[in-house]
């Protein structure tokens, strides 16, 4: 999930919602929704999640047992609003399906951070891709970690901060961190790793296309295609 602010129609923002449809993360359902200008917190998340689950059911003849959501575009001060407004919308969708109660994980993805990390091999060096920092500099009360997913040739590597707001699965932290890193490899437009998991990058690309160029909702037939790449 990501949000982009329309450059032409100043009174609206675009919420982009992408959802994987198979176990190989090669097929996606994608839908943008319009909301009030400057609104980072998703007001139309209920409809996006409902449509995604219906599309998944049509494709797979079953609903997912686990749902892992990466929520991009949220600042530090907006985390309580996500807990209060967005997560209840998601849970409300589950009630619309008979005897359906999946295990939910909600992770906030933060790229605009000042933290930098270095290794030492006679001199300071950038950590290798896949390096996770989950001790010392993380929250004492919450469940969060830093991940460096990219290798850089110049300057310092920029980590991404992941804050786990909800975790109803039995996944160990190492497994959730590994899944996050693996997803950084699966963006179609780049042969290496990207800074965020591929569903976040797809949501960003779709939100940018709609908010920067077309300024309207794409046809529903495009929902099963990565037309924005």
What amino acid positions are annotated as catalytic residues? Answer: 2, 40, 72, 204
Contact indicator for 117, 158 with CB cutoff of 8 Å: no
SS3 assignment, position 25: coil
Residue whose token pair is 């923002």:
13
All residues at 6 or more sequence positions from 212 whose CB lies less than 8 Å from its CB, including other chains? 4, 7
CA distances for 25 relative to 29, 141, 226, angstroms: 11, 32, 12
Contact indicator for 5, 38 with CB cutoff of 8 Å: yes
Q: How many CB atoms lie within 10 A of CB 149?
A: 24
How far apart are alpha carbons 170 and 155 in whole angstroms? 38
How far apart are alpha carbons 207 and 33 in whole angstroms? 9
Three-state SS letters, 45-87: HHHHHHHHHHHHHHHHCCCCCEEEEEEECCCHHHHHHHHHHHH
């Amino acid at each position: 999930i990501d949000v982009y602010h329309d450059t032409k129609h100043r009174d609206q923002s675009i919420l982009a919602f992408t959802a994987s449809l198979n176990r190989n993360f090669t097929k996606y359902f994608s839908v943008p929704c319009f909301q009030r200008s400057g609104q980072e917190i998703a007001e139309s998340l209920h409809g996006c999640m409902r449509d995604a689950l219906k599309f998944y059911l049509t494709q797979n003849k079953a609903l997912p047992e686990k749902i892992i959501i990466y929520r991009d575009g949220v600042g530090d001060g907006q985390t309580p609003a996500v807990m209060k407004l967005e997560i209840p919308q998601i849970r409300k969708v589950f009630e619309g399906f008979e005897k359906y109660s999946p295990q939910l994980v909600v992770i906030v993805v933060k790229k605009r951070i000042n933290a930098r990390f270095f290794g030492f091999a006679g001199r300071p060096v950038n950590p290798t891709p896949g390096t996770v920092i989950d001790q010392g500099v993380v929250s004492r009360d919450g469940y969060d970690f830093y991940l460096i997913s990219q290798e850089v040739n110049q300057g310092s590597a920029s980590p991404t901060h992941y804050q786990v707001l909800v975790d109803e699965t039995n996944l160990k932290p190492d497994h959730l961190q590994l899944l996050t890193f693996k997803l950084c490899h699966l963006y179609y437009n780049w042969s290496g790793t990207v800074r965020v998991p591929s569903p976040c990058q797809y949501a960003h690309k779709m939100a940018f296309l709609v908010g920067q160029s077309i300024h309207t909702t794409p046809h529903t037939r495009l929902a099963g295609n990565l037309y924005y790449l």
